[in-house]
Structure 1
Amino acid sequence: MVNGQVKNIGLPEINNYKKSDYKGGTQNWGIDQDANGNLYFANNSGLLKFDGSSWSEYNIPNNSSIRSLKVGGSNKIYAGGYNEFGYFEPNEKGKLLYHSVSKLVNENNRHQIDFIWKIHQFKNEIIYQAFEKAYIYNGKTLKLIEAPGKFQFSFVVNDRLYFQDSSFGLMEYVNGKLVVLPGTMVLNNTEVWGIFPLSKTKMLVTTLDKGLFVYENNILTQWETEANAFMKKNSCLGGVEIQKKFIALNSVLDGVVITDLEGNILQHINRKKGMQNNTVLSSFIDSKNNLWLGLDNGITFINESSPFTYFGFSYGISTVYASVVHNNNLYVATNQGLFYHSWGKTFKEDSFELVQGTTGQAWNIQVIDGQLFCGHNRGMLQVSGNKVVKTLDSNGYWSLKKIPNQPNLLIGSNYSGFAIFQKIGNEWSFRNYIEGMTKSASTYEIEDQNVWLKKDEFLYQMKLSNDFMKFKSIKTYQNLSPTERGIASIQKINNRIYFQNNNHFYRYSAERDLFFEDKQMSVLFKDLPMIRSSFQDKIGNIWYIYNESIGVLKKDNETGYENILAPFSNLTGNILFDYLSINTIDSRNIFIGMTDGLAHYDPELLNNFSSKPKAFIRSFSFPSDTLIVGNIPKNKVYEIPYQSNNVKFTFSSPTYENLANVEFSYKLEGFDENWSNWTTVSMKEYTNLREDDYCMKVRVRNSYGVISEPAEVAFTVRPPFYRHFLAYIFYLMAIVGIVYLIRQRIKMKIRKNKYYETIEQRRLYLEKEAKIRQEQFELEKEIERLKNDKLKIKILAKDKELVNNSLQVVKKNKILNGIIHKLKDIDVENMDDSVKFQFGKLNKSIVKEVNADKSWKDLEKHIKNVHFDFLKRLKEKYPTISPRELDLSTYLLMNMSTKEIAEIMNISSGGVELARYRLRKKLELNKKENLIGFLMSI
């Protein structure tokens, strides 16, 4: 079903670019590609350039539409419009500038040029073809070819240049002359839009309204093929050759068809199948053999190099849960029912048809013993051809599986548990529901008479009874081992049931009633992404689901398995995680169910995208300028001034397949330590870069995960004037000068400091001498003070001694007064005279001694003299204090006891305490303050 590169199964990826996308005119008359992979389009509004990331527009002087273009050598893009032709060439900054060649035409004749419809590079010359003339440009001069009648179009085929003339048919340009091709004048009444080689001696000639012709041995005949019938009906606008094996033919009314060299239509793509317009004005095969179409309104990209094609809404199918080929029909189970299409018939036109009686949710379609079964929302259906022939059970079913060693029994998973189907003769029928399990799930496997069911986070082991009427035992598991928590999936690989979690695969041992890890299988999945589930197809490939995509371990008899991951990134997000549908018909025909249809995968075409993509730094901008780097010779180092140190880079890659999945990663050496994360943003800006040497590197990763070699742009940010090399020389000279001045100043200061130091030392000497004298004086004063203190201490001691003596005198006088009072009590009248005389004499003597004793007054006077300063301070501080309180204060200061004070003051001890209380009150002392200590502090 697959012929060479072009697949006739399904539709390739189609991307449409509207005029609002490329911001140009509607019609696109020509397409070409340069050495860097950039695409150019001859558009009504000018020359369009597409680099995979952005569109640019360039105009010719009279702003006319461009009707033809040709990418030549030396980065020149030759273009032709109305009364104007020339070429675009990048200037020293990479910007495309237009250079007019038509100025070489006589000024009086330029208005007669008309449109340039074709441009060819032929034998080192550029041919600009208009209706009346062809202009041949050799890089310096221009020469003309006059049309015998009127030129229509021209073509280069097998290195030969052909013109269609309205009077002579096809003509070949040979050595500066036009030579008529015999037998082609029948084409004078139509327009030839394309000529293609079918062999070395045979050419295909396509006309606008007469169909397709073959020219061989000077004879022109109709090409009676399927392609000719199509073009007679829809009008041909030329086309393009594909790998010398196929031809893409443009039509006016019904899109594009791709045929083989025998005229069989392999693909037909039109508006119904995804194109935005049915009129194809131009077509082009890019460097990766993908097809570009210039439409009457817009541009279309067709990914012919991909190993994937698709059946979607244009084929009448939606979400696909399963597919199978049976009796030369491809059956597809969808959310709308069961559909089918002839497997032997081409897919290019017909949609899938609904199998009668299957409208609704079809979960599965499978072939068992040559019969077709459909697990449906309305029951288990048996299908034959295009209709349901039998409903085995009306309960909703997921799928059927064979019971080992029971060729006439099937077990089916339904909405309410499980059921058994029995084959009697050649007819299958419902037998019974299995009691004991009512949970509904599509993920189950059977081994011997053990049914393993995965539902939510639980795994159920259910043992069938011998009569298959019930599950006689059910065990539930949540973990595969003490260290392996959880159970992700259950699958049968190589006729063994495996239980998987975190890419570790386990099997069950009935003898030991436990799960044990299969190391060989775990190693197989060790370096793979964390999978959700896996499935083995009929040729031994192991498919697995991870994240939002799928991968496959392709069976290889020599090396075991080859992991293939990258191609399926295009399917990311469209896979049904819980209903992985892989239908492997053979090694080149694999169908994959998706949320929006069915994908056809041909692994043999993988080598078409294995080459690395190319990354380009499209532009390098800074405030004062913009450089189109892709158009400038490599290995050039750019210098930018410091004031322009805010730079911006834009990236591109001539990778046009699945543009939404093309990602860039960049690194500015000298600034970034690591590569950036992958991003679809094709721009990066850096601000406030310091002066240094930098190298911007960019990589691209295509939709298949293949990473390019990095593209590089080296540049230098010049330092500001104050950090320039010459500035540093100036700074060095200034520093040397400043150091010299500072040194001289320091020397002068040292001399000055020595002078001041001498003076200071003299001053310090004098101060020290004066200080010594002062200290000597203070010492003398201290000695004198100490002498005075010693004297005072002696005086105080004498005072104390005086007081003590005075107290003795007072005591003595008191005793004497007592004696005097006692003598008065003696009756002297009874004494004789001599005794009486002696008694009188003794009494007078005692009285005289008492009256003559002035020791107390002397004591009081002495005390006041000694404590004069204290009494003065106390009187000044407390003016209201009485003389008697002054005396009490003095006695207390002298540390006299209460008894001593009472005797001196001639009062009782209680009187002393009362006097002390009154004194404390007058001195305003609280209870806690010591009276004597307070007096000593005055």
Structure 2
Amino acid sequence: MQEKHYSIPLGKALCLSLIFIFSFFISMQAQEQVGRPLITNYKYQEYGTAPINWWALEDDNGIMYFANQGDVLQFDGVNWKRIEVSGPSRSLAKDDKGTIYVGGQGAIGFLIPGETGEMEYVSLLDKIPEEHKVFADVWEIDYYKGRIIFRTEFKLYCWDGESIKVIPSEQGYHVGNIVNGIYYLRIWDKGLCMLTDNDTFELVPGGEQFASERIYALLPYDDKVLVGTRTQGFFLFDGKEFTPFKTEIDEEIEGIIYLPGVALDNGSYVINTFGNGAYMIDHNGKYIQKYTTANGLQDGSATFTYVDSRGVLWMPLFNGISSVNLNSTFTSVDANMGLTTTVFGTYRFKDILYFSTNNGVAYLEKGDNQVKVIPGTTGQVGNFFEYRNRLYAATNGVGLYEILGTSITPVRENINYDFRARFINQSISDTNRILVDHQQGVRSFYFDEKVGQFVEESSTAKLISNGGVIVEDEDGNFWSDSQEEGVMVKMIPAYKEGKLDLDASEYINYGIDKGLPDAGIGFEYFNNEIHIFSGETEKTYGFNQAANRFEERTFFFDEYIDWDRPGSSPVETSDGKLLLNAGSGTLVFDKVNGKYELSNTDTFKELQNNRIFSIYPEEPRADGSRVVWFSGPDGAIRYEGNLETPSIPDFHTDIRSISIGADSLLYAGNIDLPEDLSLPYDENSITFGYAAPLYIGQKQIQYSTQLSGFDGKWSEWGPQTNREYINLPSGNYDFKVRAKNIYGDISETVSVPFGITPPWYKTWWAYALYVLGILGFIYFSVKARTSILLNQQKVLEDTVQERTKEANQRLKELA
């Protein structure tokens, strides 16, 4: 089998030795699930209260709430908030107005936002008739026909918004649910019943068989009811009779099934247990997936299951809270399944999955959930190579060998470190020949029909490849990179009597004098063309056959290269698609008229922060769907789908808090944003908190903000979920924020305008006083000066008058 896909990761570190050659074998069955789901675990240390959780609920704005043994928890994807209630909370429900009701130990009530938006608990105990106020746990809450029904062990408390009606039962209530518009409830020693319009319970036909058998799941099944029992398995109830419904999880959940289970829109079900996690089955009862401690769930006691509006499954646990995106097309084979080291490549051969790892070949047999290592395959493994329906691999510890199921047989062993093999490269001019690079050079092998195996043909130390890949061009020459920086090597093969003589072959170096940069390079060979990458120069190069030199060239994928992030080898599929990770994420191209055109950038965006060493696509199925494997330090990640762009039903950003100074909270979310917000000048430092409650790739969501009137432009995208502004000058502002999810979707902008009043000495009345003061000063200054002048004039006049009088007196005396 001939393949021409070679793997040099792109980016700053281009010259890596992890390159893989892929081919295809068989397709997966539609219902087969390999690997564990990508579960997100929230530990009690993270949300800061008791570990035990009982219930989950989403409000009308996409915010999650959890009934916790300590308080009610609120989670917006960024911040956890504790809402104090009357003791431990046990159950939650929401009415048609979006009000959330809470049931706990001897307490019932609801949540309402306070003046600033912080959620507050309002008790309904004062609405209960005095003789019914004492009760224990509220195990369930349902909203049914305009009433909230709180279920305790012996009483139902029915709240219609004005008063509470109590429906008691001497036998005791067990588990109930509303299915297809009917409120079903199991009553101890009586059986499965339904609530009538006059608030009495009527035994359903055949319901008496559950008088002593516990029911924990009551779920819609088309126009029937799926009934899950503690020890007798499942039944389908059509309104007249109960029919046993066998599933593939009957043995796993027997004796530990717990309420309530959840019916999915596609007809599947998730059934939770009190000790062994949760299981997904399809409409026919076939096992699809499990969520247990064996594959990533942090605790086995799944006390509740809830699917939010985005398709995220929430599982409150006895130790924390876990979630998984049911719409995700990815599962993982990793340390939870025994794959405890880095994976360089994945390959499916004869119903066994093989993994080339940092220490041997690991495998996963069909139907098994535990990865094992093939004995004797020590050392770092290169690529897998399939030839004549046989599978080969090479390691730097063992050499070259053939894989026979779960064992190996040597082809050429590594003796005293003389053959620390890495990669197997197949000739295209003669597919019976392979070239295997190793630390001391290259060895060639040819398939001998007589012995039915590859035999060593020749060897050389004249070519020591840096990346391990050796490719043959259309002219029969071989190319590889070298240990010397910025140098490619062209080997013109020499043949003697039909055998390749590596030592006698001619080796020509192509470096700076042949157009390559004086910098580190890496290369890919696909679409019958050599592609050279240099992360240092951030340029790409192609080979000009006529000029016999390399030259700068722009390829169809250049605009998608992120030189700051490593990529992985492009892989061509049998149906004309190209999967290429150029650092910015794995892209899908379609081949149209011999040229590749971008199909979409979003299919694999969920993995954009995962380091990917290699990509391995299995053969596409008849319906166009396929399985693609991504190998890397996180193990092997499995994609199953038809390469479509994922859709997110609701992605929005909320401003969740506004505070001034150190701890003065003005706004706590849950209500409309404040209007006409005005802050005094001595409180001109303000902080905004925000979140985009998606719960899918939540930690990878990025935000951009701008304060109009202060910031000249939007901020760069980043993970920061709050923005603080200190000592803002007086004026009018508008704070704006938006979010971008892992798929590249950008939410609508949310904003809140506000103003900062000027200090008193900059107010209009202060300026009026300033003017009056100046005018007064001028007036009194002029008046004082005038008074002085008048006084001086009077003194002068008096002096003149006195002198005149003296003169006249002397004249009289002289006369």
TM-score range, shorter chain: 0.7 to 0.9
What does the per-residue CA deviation read over 1:340-366, in whole Å, with 9 as the maximum and x for residues that have no partner? 234xx44xx521233343244322212
Aligned partner of 2:309 in structure 1 is 287
Distance 1:105-1:647 versus aligned 2 partners, 3 A rule: same
With over 3 angstroms needed to count, the CA separation of the structure-2 counterparts of 1:218 and 1:674, relative to structure 1, is same
Output the CA distance in 2 between the equivalents of 1:369 and 1:752: 127
Measure how far apart 1:622 and its partner are: 2.0
TM-superposed deviation, 1:165: 1.3
Deviations 1:214-233 (Å, cap 9, x if unpaired)?
21242123321212232116
SS in structure 1 opposite 2:505?
A: strand
Measured after TM superposition, the shift of residue 503 of structure 1 is 6.6
8 Å CA contact 1:637–1:713 kept in 2: the answer is: no
Determine if contact 2:423/2:469 at 8 Å carries over to the other structure.
Answer: no
Deviates more, 1:162-171 or 1:728-737: 728-737
Give the superposition deviation at 1:338: 1.5
Residue 697 of structure 1 aligns with which residue? 736
**Deviation of the 1:512 alpha carbon:** 3.2
Match of 1:652 in 2: 691
Moved more, 403-412 or 269-278: 403-412
The 3 A distance-change label for structure 1 pair 295 and 128 is same
Q: Counterpart of 1:431 in 2: which secondary structure? A: strand
User: What residue identity is the alignment partner of 1:580?
Assistant: S
Corresponding residue for residue 493 of structure 2: 464
Which residue of the partner structure matches residue 472 of structure 2? 446
* 1:478 aligned partner: 511
For residues 792 and 196 of structure 2, what CA distance do their matches in structure 1 show? 105
- Is 1:413 the counterpart of 2:449 in the alignment? no
Deviates more, 1:227-236 or 1:249-258: 227-236
Change (3 A) 1:743 1:714: same
Q: Secondary structure at the match of 1:185?
A: helix
More divergent stretch after superposition (741-750 vs 159-168): 741-750
- Counterpart Cα distance in 2 of 1:488 and 1:610: 39
1:538 aligned to 2:560? Answer: no
Shift of 1:654: 1.0
**SS across alignment from 1:535:** strand
Seen in structure 2, the aligned counterparts of structure 1 residues 515 and 637 have a Cα distance that, compared at 3 Å, is: same
CA, structure 1 residues 139+404, in 2 after alignment: closer, same or farther (shift >3 Å)?
same
Q: Is 1:722 paired with 2:756?
A: no
Residue aligning to 1:12: 37
Structure with bigger gyration radius: 1
d(CA) in 2 for partners of 1:407, 1:47:
66
Matching of residue 669 in structure 1 with residue 692 in structure 2: no
Q: 1:351 aligns with which of 370, 376, 386?
A: 370
Deviation string for 1:709-735 (max 9, x for gaps)?
Answer: 222222222333333344444444444
Structure 1: gaps of 5 or more residues: 759-938
**How do residues 651-800 of structure 1 correspond to structure 2 at under 5 angstroms?**
651-741=690-780
Shift of residue 179, structure 1, vs aligned partner: 3.0
Q: Give CA-to-partner distance per residue, 1:785-844, whole Å, 9 cap, x none.
A: xxxxxxxxxxxxxxxxxxxxxxxxxxxxxxxxxxxxxxxxxxxxxxxxxxxxxxxxxxxx
Q: Distance in 1 between matches of 2:506 and 2:144?
A: 84
Which residue in the other structure is 1:796 paired with?
none
In structure 1, the partner of 2:549 is 514
**SS of residue matched to 1:24:** coil
Of the three residues 321, 342, 358, the one matched with 2:344 is 321
In structure 2, distance between residues paired with 1:653 and 1:120: 29
Are residue 373 (structure 1) and residue 399 (structure 2) matched? no
In the alignment, which residue of structure 1 is the partner of 2:589?
554
Q: Is the 8 A contact 2:688 2:723 kept in 1?
A: yes
Partners of 2:603 and 2:685 in 1: CA distance = 39
Q: 1:613 aligns with which of 636, 645, 651?
A: 651
Instruction: Answer whether contact 1:42 1:66 (CA < 8 A) is retained.
Output: yes
Partner secondary structure for residue 257 of structure 1: strand
Q: 2:260 aligns to what SS in structure 1?
A: strand
Paired residue for 2:633?
595
Q: Which runs of 5+ in 2 are unaligned?
A: 1-26, 798-815
The 10-residue stretch of structure 1 (580-589 or 378-387) with the greater mean CA deviation from structure 2: 580-589
Shift in Å, 1:700? 2.4
Query: What TM-score does the superposition give when structure 1 sets the normalisation length?
Result: 0.74
SS at match of 1:639: strand
Instruction: Specify the SS of the correspondent of 1:413.
Output: strand
The 3-state SS of whatever aligns with 1:314 is: helix
Name the SS of the counterpart of 2:209 in structure 1: helix
Q: Structure 1 125/604 Cα, relative in aligned 2: closer, same or farther at 3 Å?
A: farther
Q: Check conservation: 2:53, 2:320, Cα contact below 8 A.
A: yes
Residues 703 and 717 of structure 2 are in contact (CA less than 8 Å); yes or no, is this contact kept in structure 1? yes
Cα RMSD over matched residues?
A: 3.2
Check the 8 A contact 2:561/2:582 in 1, yes or no: no
Residue aligning to 1:491: 524
Give the deviation of 1:475 after TM superposition. Answer: 1.3
> Deviation per CA, 1:478-506, whole angstroms, max 9, x where unpaired?
24865855462222222333333467554
Q: Secondary structure at the match of 2:252?
A: helix
Q: Quick one: higher RCO (CA 8 Å, sep 6+), 1 or 2?
A: 2
Contact 1:615 1:710 survives alignment (8 Å): yes
- 1:372 Cα deviation after fit: 0.8
Amino acid at match of 1:20: Q
TM-score for both structures, normalised by structure 2: 0.84
Correspondence for 2:187 among 154, 160, 165:
165
Task: Report the alpha carbon displacement of residue 572 of structure 1 after superposing the two structures with TM.
Answer: 5.5
Partner Cα distance (1:488, 1:756) in 2? 103
Cα distance change of structure 1 residues 698 and 84 upon mapping to structure 2, 3 Å threshold:
same
| In 1: Cα distance, 2:157 partner to 2:785 partner | 87
> Structure 2 CA distance, aligned partners of 1:661 and 1:228?
38
Tell me if structure 2 keeps the 8 A contact 1:612–1:708: no
Partner SS state of residue 166, structure 2 = strand
Change (3 A) 1:516 1:685: closer
TM-superposed CA distance for 1:423, in Å, is: 2.0
Question: Paired residue for 2:332?
Answer: 310
CA distance in 1, matches of 2:33, 2:717: 35
- Cα offset for 1:603? 5.1
Corresponding residue SS for 2:294: helix
Q: Which amino acid aligns with 2:165?
A: K
Does structure 2 retain, via aligned residues, the 8 Å contact 1:588–1:604? yes
Match of 1:24 in 2: 49
The answer on whether the counterparts of 1:306 and 1:605 sit within 8 Å (CA) in structure 2 is: no
**CA positional deviation for 1:703:** 3.5
Instruction: Name the aligned partner's letter for residue 131 of structure 1.
Output: E
Tell me how far apart the structure 1 counterparts of residues 204 and 42 of structure 2 sit (CA, whole Å). 40
1:601 maps to amino acid:
Y
Are 2:105 and 1:82 aligned? yes
- CA shift at 1:152, angstroms? 0.9
Structural mapping, 1:391-402, within 5 Å: 391-394=411-414, 395-402=419-426
Match of 2:161 among 139, 154, 176: 139
2-structure distance, mates of 1:68, 1:564: 43
Shift of 1:184: 1.4
What is the CA-CA distance between 1:66 and the residue it aligns to? 0.9
- Between the aligned partners of 1:739 and 1:687, the Cα distance in structure 2 is 40
Equivalent AA in structure 2 for residue 446 of structure 1: E
* Aligned match for 2:235, one of 213, 235, 246: 213
Q: Retained in 2: the 8 A contact 1:498–1:505? A: yes
Q: Could you say which residue in structure 2 is the equivalent of 1:271?
A: 293
SS at the partner of 2:133?
helix
**How far off its partner does 1:9 sit?**
2.5
Which residue identity does 1:384 align to in structure 2?
L
Correspondent of 1:580 among 584, 604, 614: 614
Greater share of helix? 1
2:231 maps to 1:231: no
- Tell me how far apart the structure 1 counterparts of residues 459 and 549 of structure 2 sit (CA, whole Å): 26
Whether the aligned pair in 2 keeps the contact of 1:701 and 1:707 (CA below 8 Å) is yes
What amino acid sits opposite 1:469 in the alignment? D
Other structure's SS at 1:230 match: helix
In 2, the alpha carbon distance for the partners of 1:504 and 1:249 equals 54
The C-alpha deviation readout for 1:507-561, integer Å capped at 9, x for no partner, is 4344432235555xx24423532376642333444444555x6422422649942
SS in 2 for 1:422: strand
Paired position in structure 2 for 1:58: 83
Which residue of the partner structure matches residue 138 of structure 2?
Answer: 116
